[in-house]
Structure 1
Amino acid sequence: MTIIAADIMSSPVITVRPNTTVGEVARLMSKHRISAVVVVDSADRILGIISEADVLKPYRESILARRAWWLDLIAEGEEMPKDFLEYLRQDRHVAADVMVSDVVTADHRMTIPQLAELAVQKGVRRLPVVKDGKLVGIVSRHDLIRAIAGSRDALS
């Protein structure tokens, strides 16, 4: 019996909407111990994906330094109200700001060799699984390794 994506995928998938804050995305990833979330619309069509690296982007030291430089430029040596400065310092990024929108997906009927080829060829760590254009699951590289290790049928 051939093992397909639908047999090994994780489902349901933890998803977010485009307007979900990056802070909430981070909380979901931490709570569910996952390394990515899929961004979907109200019909569960995939809009993007956010990995741990994408969440970290707005918080990098170089980005924070650039933000401080802009604040100094705007102030032009004038003292600005503390509440206004705090407002400007707050991160207001949402999922749509940090997501990768060119998502590599897998069909629910793809076999282990097809999934492995796609993941390696495209250099991705996880493949959202679709059926009739809608998100139904996700397959990670770990899922593929586990399937290969646990079954003689994985490679057929």
Structure 2
Amino acid sequence: MRVRDFMSHPAVAIAPDRPIAEAAQLMLEHRVSGLPVVDATGRLVGIVSEHDLLRRRSNGATRRPHWLQLMTEGQALAQEPERFHALTVGDVMTTEVVAVSDDTSLEEAGRLIEVHGIKRLPVIRDGRVIGVLSRADLLRALARAIGKAEAAKRHDTPMTDERLIELERQYWLQRSRGTK
């Protein structure tokens, strides 16, 4: 199975010069927790997440969680509308982005998500963002694989059992070698 079979596309993306309020609105409208950030030609320049929008930076350093400050300090909440229109996506986005091609295997994509502790991978083709693969997309792929395995088992029990045993053996073999 390949990324192209399960990615969300087209990607909902945003430009780095847009206000963070617009990014928040796009995330809410599309029910996503992050957006690829692209230049005018559609090339990936970063990613912005809910975490990036809620994080407060001061002189380049991150202080305590911004959402906590908003809940405990009335003065901080009063300044929030101005902040959401003054800061741009480029001010808060993450620039070191892990991305995959649409031809990447789901196994590799899942490994990257796990190793890097991230929730989504922008999907690139010819240097441009064409979609996003999220953890939810991986769950969909897993559900489909389980459904196919159950259907196959009803038709060919011994062969399916052998395949599942071999897949499990390979998985544990990889984990014992330190690869995920």
TM class by smaller structure: 0.7 to 0.9
Q: Calculate the aligned-residue CA RMSD, in Å.
A: 2.7
Distance 2:142 2:70 in 1: 41
Distance 1:39 1:63 in 2: 26
1:12 equivalenced with 2:10 (yes/no): yes
Deviation at 1:62, TM superposition (A): 4.2
Q: Which residue of 1 aligns with 2:128?
A: 134
Q: Which runs of at least 4 in structure 1 moved beyond 3 Å after TM superposition?
A: 58-65
TM-score (norm 1): 0.76
Structural mapping, 1:9-88, within 5 Å: 9-58=7-56, 59-60=66-67, 62=69
Structure 1 residue ranges without an equivalent (≥5): 70-85
Structure 2 residue ranges without an equivalent (≥5): 57-65, 150-166, 168-180
Number of residue-to-residue matches in the alignment = 135
TM-score (norm 2): 0.67
Deviation at 1:52, TM superposition (A): 0.7
Distance 1:145 1:51 in 2: 20
Q: Which residue of 2 aligns with 1:80?
A: none
Q: Give the helix-richer structure, 1 or 2.
A: 2
Paired-residue identity, %: 33
SS at match of 2:113: helix
Q: Which residue of 1 aligns with 2:160?
A: none
Pairing partner for 1:94 from 82, 88, 95: 88
Distance 2:21 2:37 in 1: 14
* Change beyond 3 A, Cα 1:11–1:145: same
Pairing partner for 1:107 from 89, 101, 109: 101
Q: Which amino acid aligns with 1:13?
A: A
Deviation at 1:61, TM superposition (A): 5.2
